[in-house]
C-alpha cells in the first residue's frame, strides 16, 4: 500500500487538518484521542468519533504544544476538557462523561502537570 492512500494530518490555525478526508477539526473541540494499534479514534465535542489511520504518536507530536497530555499508551487528553481526576484510581473524567485511566508510569507526571496548569 503506498503512502498516498493515507491522509495527511497537520495543524494550522488551531485546527487539525485531515487532507484526504477534507476535514478541519478545531483543536479545542477534541476531547480525547484513543489508540487502536495503527489507528486513532478522535472524540469530538459534538459527540462524534472519528477513526484515522494514523498512530497516536503522530497526534501527540502535533498536539503537544496545545495542552494535550499522554496519560497512557492508549490515551491522549485535552486539558481544556478535564473535569475531574481521581488520584487514588488514576481515573480522568472529561467532557461528555468520557473516562480514561492514567497509567501507573505516567500518573505522577500527570499529577504534576495538573498542579502546574491549575
Rounded Cα–Cα distance for residues 99 and 32 (Å): 9
Nearest to 5 by CA among 49, 42, 40, 52: 52
Give the mean pLDDT of 95-109. 95
What sign for the dihedral angle of Cα 57, 46, 9, 81?
negative
Res 8 pLDDT > 80: no
On the question of pLDDT at 2 being above 50, the answer is no
Written as one string, the DSSP assignment of 38-63 is TEEEEEETTS-EEEESS-HHHHHHHH
* Domain membership of residue 38 as a residue range: 3-117
Residue 36: which CATH number? 2.40.50.1020
| Total domains present in the chain | 1
Quick check: 100 pLDDT over 90? yes
Amino acid at each position: 500500500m503506498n503512502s498516498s492512500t493515507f491522509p495527511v494530518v497537520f495543524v494550522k490555525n488551531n485546527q487539525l487538518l485531515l487532507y484526504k478526508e477534507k476535514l478541519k477539526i478545531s483543536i479545542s473541540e477534541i476531547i480525547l484521542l484513543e489508540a487502536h494499534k495503527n489507528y486513532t479514534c478522535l472524540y469530538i465535542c459534538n459527540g462524534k468519533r472519528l477513526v484515522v489511520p494514523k498512530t497516536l504518536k503522530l497526534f501527540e507530536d502535533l498536539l503537544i504544544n496545545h495542552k494535550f497530555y499522554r496519560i497512557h499508551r492508549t490515551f491522549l487528553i485535552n486539558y481544556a476538557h478535564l473535569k475531574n481526576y481521581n488520584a487514588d484510581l488514576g481515573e480522568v473524567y472529561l467532557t461528555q462523561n468520557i473516562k480514561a485511566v492514567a497509567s501507573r508510569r505516567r500518573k505522577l507526571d500527570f499529577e504534576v502537570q495538573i498542579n502546574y496548569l491549575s
